[in-house]
Structure 1
């Protein structure tokens, strides 16, 4: 491995010069709910102030660069969707999910998969965002995210929040946080435990993460399962709540994905089978896998290797895994308009 130190210093300076335009205070203009139609244009869960632009570059397990406050547990928004996919992988490896294409309602009746199109929704549909699940979860309707535009997806054919005729599950791709929250609720019901507990025991601790992260839900997302009161957590912070975790911890999780399910010290965390399934392209959105973004067609970042894949959150938060170079890059609170420029600089520095 060779690295050009001057180019890496230039990349770090570039990141520091292009911090997100979001206010650092949660009391300011912060989050993505403001663009939602009423009554969904408010928070349901807590938010907290953010740190400065931040990042970590790890190659072959060695940290080559770090800037900002990489140990700070900060909001990671939709990178938490990646973490839900990892929890689903725990369920797969333990045999709790035996068939990704089985309708969920047959296994988990009474939680919103019992009637109409919802009775046809499978785990694969939810993991690929093709479920077309319809309903409310914790007081928010799936309609709030219908016709939602996302940076790397195809432009929607209507205005966000408008009514839209739903398609058969598995025939329409739409990035929809309410449906992701339904997935999280289903996983909690499946494990009979809060999702953060499962994530801590089977993902975070085996990867060597700190105990400083937290993953919280909405004021409305408390339920009782087997006599225990527990909170369902969202797969992002669209309406508040979500996962706050440090960049160093995120890099350890990224390293596990890079190692196809093994932690930095070689411990088996997830099966190689599951990590590979996560990276299989969705037929309807071939730039998307199981809640991760794929670059195999060069759609996400045309200048980066086709092998790269990403967890992406608003703000902007990136977990970039680049297998060809055995590299993991974490970037937080970057102005997203400069992400391509930053990643190109990091790649050039690592290539020497």
Structure 2
């Protein structure tokens, strides 16, 4: 084969006939070595895949752990029961263990649990690590009855007075969902009722086909931490957070409930109803996703799991992997740059 002469190459370039340079991968910032082990990423606009990328060893068949992104799924299930009139947002949390006449926890409302403002004593991240209430319940002493361990905590502050991030609070929300669905104490019946409800009211309408829950020994879904889905299914959950509609246009989440989830808690400007907001926690503090609109919302999980959504732009960014917690701000900065690049190319 004869190679074209330099003159021919120059002529082709001058006339625009040469092959264009490959397009820039908009997800490239998420795969920078400084961000740790990014395993999968997805960019959607209006439900259409703009870019999708896996690290070696991962594929469409992989189910990725949620960690705390499951809090958002739990919040959506609570919202379905509120829409059905079976739970009330500003009523006391329906937990018989707190119903004693002199029990100050009887004043904790469902809204306060959803907003992480219950006032329950809690240590999310302990130093040393075994001092974490969450780690003790999930992995050490509470695995057979996680909700019971969470409910046993006393008040540290009056309900609604302080924001305190708590995975055990989300676990209590999953327990409330379960008790609303079935009076059974049989772990298998409880787990089946929760799974069926999630399939009917959340996963099915969203087009999510590969979700798997994890339950404790009492049949309580580990609502703050353990849900497994494929990359595409995490994208579908993000799509649902745009307007509450599934791919067939069916309204799966009530608009009023989405409004609640996106509304800042009275005790924290950057947190809504089991959902992070791109707002300052306090005046003068930086936002989570610099360069992204204030309306940006995100389901966030331990070690850098993110389903980040700009509702008005119908934009979804998913990042799944393993980033040390000390470096998570780098993930947020990269997602902010991706969003800014899509909104202002």
Of 324, 344, 348, the match for 2:336:
344
Of 244, 255, 267, the match for 2:228:
244
Alpha-carbon deviation of 1:303? Answer: 2.2
Match of 1:82 in 2: 72
Inter-CA distance 103–287: structure 2 relative to 1 (3 Å threshold): same
Of 67, 77, 83, the match for 2:53:
67
1:208 aligns with 2:196: no
1:173 aligns with 2:157: no
CA contact under 8 A between 2:308 and 2:316: conserved in structure 1?
Answer: yes
Alpha-carbon deviation of 1:21? Answer: 4.4
**Alignment map for 1:93-108 (pairs within 5 Å):** 93-97=83-87, 99-105=88-94, 108=95
More relative contact order, 1 or 2 (CA 8 Å, 6+ apart) = 1
CA contact under 8 A between 1:18 and 1:334: conserved in structure 2?
Answer: no
Describe the SS at the equivalent of 1:300. Answer: coil
Describe the SS at the equivalent of 1:53. Answer: strand
CA contact under 8 A between 1:117 and 1:133: conserved in structure 2?
Answer: no
1:293-348 alpha-carbon deviations (Å, 9 max, x no partner): 11144622232111101000012100101023210111111532421342234224
Match of 1:15 in 2: 30
Paired with 1:280 and 1:243, the residues of 2 have a C-alpha distance of 25
Of 175, 178, 182, the match for 1:188:
178
Match of 1:258 in 2: 242
1:230-261 alpha-carbon deviations (Å, 9 max, x no partner): x1011233xxxx111112111112111102x1
What TM-score results when the alignment is normalised by the length of structure 1? Answer: 0.72
Paired with 1:342 and 1:125, the residues of 2 have a C-alpha distance of 32
Match of 2:215 in 1: 217
Alpha-carbon deviation of 1:289? Answer: 0.4
Alpha-carbon deviation of 1:165? Answer: 7.2
1:159-205 alpha-carbon deviations (Å, 9 max, x no partner): xxxx9971111111101122221221111111115333321111001
CA contact under 8 A between 2:65 and 2:227: conserved in structure 1?
Answer: yes
Paired with 2:43 and 2:36, the residues of 1 have a C-alpha distance of 23
Q: How many residues align?
A: 277
Describe the SS at the equivalent of 1:58. Answer: strand
Inter-CA distance 254–126: structure 2 relative to 1 (3 Å threshold): same
1:261-302 alpha-carbon deviations (Å, 9 max, x no partner): 111221110111111111111011011000101114462223
Of 110, 120, 145, the match for 1:123:
110
Inter-CA distance 256–118: structure 2 relative to 1 (3 Å threshold): same
Of 258, 282, 289, the match for 1:275:
258
Match of 1:226 in 2: none
Inter-CA distance 282–289: structure 2 relative to 1 (3 Å threshold): same
Match of 1:152 in 2: none
CA contact under 8 A between 2:120 and 2:155: conserved in structure 1?
Answer: no
CA contact under 8 A between 2:291 and 2:340: conserved in structure 1?
Answer: no
Describe the SS at the equivalent of 1:86. Answer: helix
Larger radius of gyration: 2
Of 23, 32, 38, the match for 1:6:
23
Inter-CA distance 67–299: structure 2 relative to 1 (3 Å threshold): same
Q: CA RMSD in A?
A: 2.8
Paired with 1:73 and 1:119, the residues of 2 have a C-alpha distance of 39
Describe the SS at the equivalent of 2:111. Answer: helix
Match of 2:15 in 1: none
Query: What residue ranges of structure 1 are gaps of 5+ in the alignment?
Result: 23-51, 136-140, 147-162, 223-230
Query: What residue ranges of structure 2 are gaps of 5+ in the alignment?
Result: 1-20, 123-129, 136-152, 183-189, 281-285
Match of 2:290 in 1: 302
